[in-house]
Amino acid sequence: MFDKSFYNRAPVWFQNVLLSFRAVIKKRLRECAKSDQICLQLKSMEFDSIALNDYREKHLQLTLNNAVSNVPFYHLLKGVDVKSLDSFPFVTKGDVRSQPADFESEQKPKWIVSGSTSGTTGSPLSIPQSLDSVLREQAFITRSLDWAGYKKGDKRAWIRGDMIVPIEQTKPPYWRYSYFEDMMLLSSFHMTTAALPLYIEAMVNYGVDVIQAYPSSIVTIAKYLESKGRFYPGKVKSVLTSSETLSFEDRQVIEERFRCKVFDWYGLFERVAAIANCEHGRYHVLTDYSHVEFFDAGNGSHEIVGTNYNNLYYPLIRYKTGDHVVLSRDKDCPCGRVYPMVDQVDGRVGDYLIGENGQKVYILNHIPKGVDGLIECQFIQDEPGVICVLAVVEPTSFDCVQENYLTQNVKERLGRSMAVEIKYVEALQRTKNGKVRQAICTL
């Protein structure tokens, strides 16, 4: 939206103007009559199992027909029956990365919005979207805010890893403002023990009603309050968390110290699954968002395999996410909504590193972004001020320029004084459930 180096050099007041300007553009693009209409339709089905099932069947069939008719990967398959989802093969992230163009529909929309997955352990996966897909996603975001009690005009705090404060800044304010969104954005990279009281004071003074945050960021504040035997001194309606796994213990400490409910959201940029908390803290599988299958992975865990409804330009059918849930035996929720439920989401683990000022830095997803030839990477820290990056690379495209880019990305997130060593490996060590930890910090 604007040049990063220009933004970092700008005075704080002008950074606020730039952030507000960016928000206006995004708001006009996403929050429109069509998005509002979709949201109203979604709300009308929450308590109506017949309407919800009809909607689900219609959109699943639309997705399958579109894929076979217009998408090379699917219309070249043998033996596929558009009436039977089971006849479609499973798709993995590796399949999409190795042949990305084959998943693009030949029916190209007028507007295509580029984007990518978080790239937790390696190169992000590029997923183009139509404008219709963006509007549909906004409708679900609007509804999730509605579930959490948000009303138009409420003031929000946003603590989600955006680099809105230059990493080298050592004095407050560690937050900026988006005026047209009634939102303050707080840095997740400056949350030292000394700075946390300032964060709390700033949110109270702004009059925050709703907090949207990474679990790791908001739990840092909650545990600070707990360590001081204090509670958040303002009144907050709710805390919305996403993008990392929220443990039961972390949920408890957030709800206790902020004296409000936590509404957690599980989703992926691939748009193949969404699971959301209601006001009773139960996890609902949003069957109006996508079609989700659960496959037994042993030890009471089931892998999420999803088929997206909301991006006909880039449909992914039976996409294996690698994330797991614990299914619920309960059929009904006190909230009355008719979505199926799960008891626990075992998605992303919030690993962290220690930055140059001694702060824990959890948000590492952006470090691999833009680095060509980087297949996977993992961050190891065994001593302060030193980061070792284990990298699996494609040698024909990962050269000294890309190595320097990766090094600079690490320093941008953790501090310019950090020493960065890159070690090339054939593969990264995996956990028992086949995942790779993003970071291993032994400090």
pLDDT in 10s for each residue of the chain, 443 residues:
566 788 888 999 999 999 999 888 888 888 888 999 999 999 999 999 999 999 999 999 999 999 999 999 998 888 888 999 999 999 998 899 889 999 999 999 888 887 766 555 455 678 899 999 999 999 999 999 999 999 999 999 999 878 899 888 889 999 999 999 999 999 988 888 788 999 999 999 999 999 999 887 898 899 889 888 899 999 999 999 998 888 888 899 999 999 999 999 999 989 999 999 999 999 999 999 999 999 998 878 899 999 999 999 999 999 999 888 999 999 899 999 999 999 988 765 457 889 888 887 866 767 887 788 786 788 999 999 999 999 888 788 889 999 999 999 999 889 899 999 999 987 677 555 445 678 888 88
Which pLDDT score, from 0 to 100, does residue 434 have?
43
Closest residue by Cα to residue 237 from 331, 149, 147: 149
Which pLDDT score, from 0 to 100, does residue 433 have?
44
CA atoms of 122 and 304, how far apart (whole Å):
21
For CA atoms 327, 330, 336, 340, the dihedral sign is: positive
Kind and range of the H or E run holding 304: strand 301-308
Q: Determine how many CB atoms are found less than 10 A away from the CB of residue 392.
A: 20
Show the DSSP H helices in 118-276 as ranges. Answer: 131-147, 196-206, 215-227, 248-258
Which pLDDT score, from 0 to 100, does residue 118 have?
58
Peptide bond into 368 cis (omega under 30): no
Asked: is 353-441 a CATH 3.30.300.30 domain? The reply is yes
Read off the pTM.
Answer: 0.81
| 66-68-71-74 Cα dihedral, nearest 10 degrees | 140
Return the exposure string of 328-337: e unless at least 16 CB atoms fall within 10 Å of the residue's CB, then b. Answer: beeeebebeb
